[in-house]
Amino acid sequence: MKKTGKVYLVGGGPGDPELLTLKAYRILQKADAVVYDRLISDEVLALAPKGASKIYVGKQTNNHTLPQEEISALLVSLAKAGHTVVRLKGGDPFIFGRGSEEALELVRANIEFEVVPGITAAAGASAMIGVPLTHRGLATGVRFVTGHCRADQPLDLDWKSLSDPDTTLVIYMGLANLAQITTQLMAAGLSGSTPVMAVSRATMADQKTCPATLETLERSLKSAGLKSPALIIIGKVASLANVLGPGMTAAGENSDAQELQAMAGE
């Protein structure tokens, strides 16, 4: 009787293969089957063994290759067939990756599994575009929020709590509901002049950014042609891209740096 295999829920990071963890790389090398998402870059997928089965189960708005229940059932089936299965997810499996849903199904099926964390898109994008998620005097905390709901239902979020000007707000999968997001945040009290940075394909060679304010965000994104998948960072820290972003150099006379230091009370 063939021994039941094991499933690894692996974070593939934000896209750049050099941001894959050593553990994720090691486990990927021994995979018999790789079940991967839309957000996995070709460069990361290329690190899997040539003989491994590669099964695409990507999702995007109104276009799911497989429903979530069938993806979970596939993992169980592959493991019961004795395979070492790598469920490769963009970013981190437990941050908007439905990794916990799949883990619960594996528990129910008595399948051994292990979670391998990855660099989430917010952390990867933050580092690459010069927007720290927290900064003394500008942001005392950070919130990760999904901008997408099932079956195109209206977003059911606590807009008042999300409109705190001293908290950085990072919105995943928010392009489809952008008008609702900006309108609701401003209605809840967040200033329309709040700085915003949006980024698509973060950490990759074709990364694209779009600076804006909350009230100009929708118009700016249309003009810039930014497409999904994209990440939106809202808060005072977004202004630091003018100082810390790619191509910027430190200078004592930098007026942007001096203004931001004054804002932060430094």
Over residues 126-146, the pLDDT tens digits come to: 999 999 999 999 999 999 999
The CATH number of the domain where 111 resides is what?
A: 3.40.1010.10
User: Are 248 and 204 in contact, with CB atoms under 8 Å apart?
Assistant: no
The CATH number of the domain where 248 resides is what?
A: 3.30.950.10
Pair (239, 136) in one structural domain: yes
92 is catalytic: no
pLDDT at 106 (0 to 100): 98
Pair (159, 125) in one structural domain: yes
Say which residue the tokens 């993806």 belong to: 71
Cβ atoms within 10 Å, residue 95? 19
**CB contact set of 141 (below 8 Å; sequence gap of 6+):** 134, 166, 167, 168
Pair (141, 244) in one structural domain: yes
Q: In sequence order, which ranges of 81-200 are alpha helices (DSSP H)?
A: 99-108, 121-129, 159-162, 178-187
Is 33 part of a structural domain of the chain?
Answer: yes
Q: What percent of the chain has pLDDT over 70?
A: 88
Pair (28, 154) in one structural domain: no
Domain end, chosen from 97, 116, 135, is at: 116
Say which residue the tokens 């469920």 belong to: 87
Of the candidates 37, 92, 128, 197, the residue annotated as catalytic is: 37
Pair (58, 130) in one structural domain: no
Of the candidates 89, 92, 173, 236, the residue annotated as catalytic is: 173
Pair (178, 244) in one structural domain: yes
Please give the tally of structural domains in the chain.
2
Cβ atoms within 10 Å, residue 214? 24
Domain end, chosen from 58, 85, 116, is at: 116
Of the candidates 6, 23, 59, 80, the residue annotated as catalytic is: 59
Pair (66, 145) in one structural domain: no
Pair (106, 237) in one structural domain: no
Is 1 part of a structural domain of the chain?
Answer: no
Domain end, chosen from 55, 84, 116, is at: 116
Residues of the chain with pLDDT under 70: 1-2, 60-65, 150-152, 247-266
The whole-angstrom separation of Cα 118 and Cα 199 is 19
Pair (99, 128) in one structural domain: no
Is 132 part of a structural domain of the chain?
Answer: yes
128 is catalytic: no
pLDDT at 254 (0 to 100): 55
Per-residue pLDDT tens digits for 42-80: 999 999 999 999 999 987 655 556 899 999 999 999 999
Domain that holds residue 102: 6-116
Pair (111, 131) in one structural domain: no
Burial of 119 (0-12, 13-18, 19+ CB in 10 A): buried
Give this prediction's pTM. Answer: 0.88
Pair (35, 111) in one structural domain: yes
Per DSSP, the residues of 53-87 read EEEE--EETTEESS-HHHHHHHHHHHHHTT--EEE
186 is catalytic: no
Pair (202, 222) in one structural domain: yes
